[in-house]
Amino acid sequence: MCVNQPQEERYVRANIRTKRDLTLLSEVEDYATGAFIRSKFNCIDDENVAWFGQAHFGKYDLIVDDLNRLLLPVPNEKIYLLQTASIPVTELIPRMLLEEAEILQFLKQHLHPNIIKFHGCTINRGRFAGIALERHNVILQYRHEDVPQALDIDAFMRGIRAGVAHLHSLGFAHNDLNPTNIALGGNENPILLDFGSCRKFGEDLLSGGTFGWVVEDYSTSARRHDESAMDKIEAWLVKIGVKATTNA
């Protein structure tokens, strides 16, 4: 006879084997000063149970034993909210996820080497639970920490601009380009991620832009949002490249 045990009894401890089992490992910094605040990390196991943890020391100091000790299971009721004070918000999040999946499905018919590969959607308990994408281990935001070699900025920006030009040729703007939404593939080929704000030119946006990477607030999709964001990314790469060279 099978007995359904409460989640907290069945999942006492995470069981990751390496840091690569994590879906996220990052550091939270003070926006104004850049001072370290904490590390945060999460993973989803083979049974689609989500785990989340945080620590008050750097991500490079974390070992697997620390991660397994600090990761805690996220109860389903925290993911699939039963009640909320704001019904519009309850409707908005599934709508955003579904619209992103639809855009990725469209882009799957128009492949480009600088756009993330979409494998489909994940289902948990009959619900649309997530989006399955090709996995990449390095994100541009942390590339200068994870990889010691200098980045070829000109070649990298050509790749970003090629991916964006492909989107624009299809009538879409990304609308949220920033270093956390760009991965590095083989030969440090840039891969555009996070299409939650991607819409056809002129369409209204449910969300758009990331603070610090936009030149204006906006509520409709437009080519100029991507163009200004790419200029900011290039300037940021030059700045951190000079800083890394100086530190070396």
Do residue 88 and residue 192 come from a single domain? yes
Q: Pick the last residue of a domain from 39, 60, 78.
A: 78
Tell whether 1 is covered by a domain. no
Do residue 177 and residue 216 come from a single domain? yes
Do residue 222 and residue 142 come from a single domain? yes
Domains: count for the chain: 2
Query: Domain limits at 13?
Result: 7-78
Do residue 66 and residue 134 come from a single domain? no
Torsion angles phi and psi, residue 91, rounded to 5: -80, -30
Rg (CA), the chain: 20
Do residue 144 and residue 234 come from a single domain? yes
The mean of the pLDDT values for the chain is: 84
Residue 125, amino acid: R
- Interval 159-205: pLDDT, tens: 999 999 999 999 999 999 999 999 999 889 999 999 999 999 999 88
Res 87 pLDDT > 60 = no
Res 233 pLDDT > 50 = yes
Do residue 217 and residue 104 come from a single domain? yes
Helix (H, G, I), strand (E, B) or coil at 73: strand
What percentage of the chain exceeds 90 in pLDDT? 47
In this structure, are residues 192 and 174 in contact, taking their beta carbons and an 8 Å threshold? yes
Can you spell out the DSSP letters for 199-224? Answer: EETT-B-SS---TTS-SS--SB--HH
Q: Pick the last residue of a domain from 34, 57, 78.
A: 78
- Interval 9-21: pLDDT, tens: 445 788 888 888 8
191: Cβ contacts below 8 Å, ≥ 6 apart: 114, 115, 116, 134, 136, 163, 182, 183, 184, 185
Q: Pick the last residue of a domain from 44, 78, 112.
A: 78
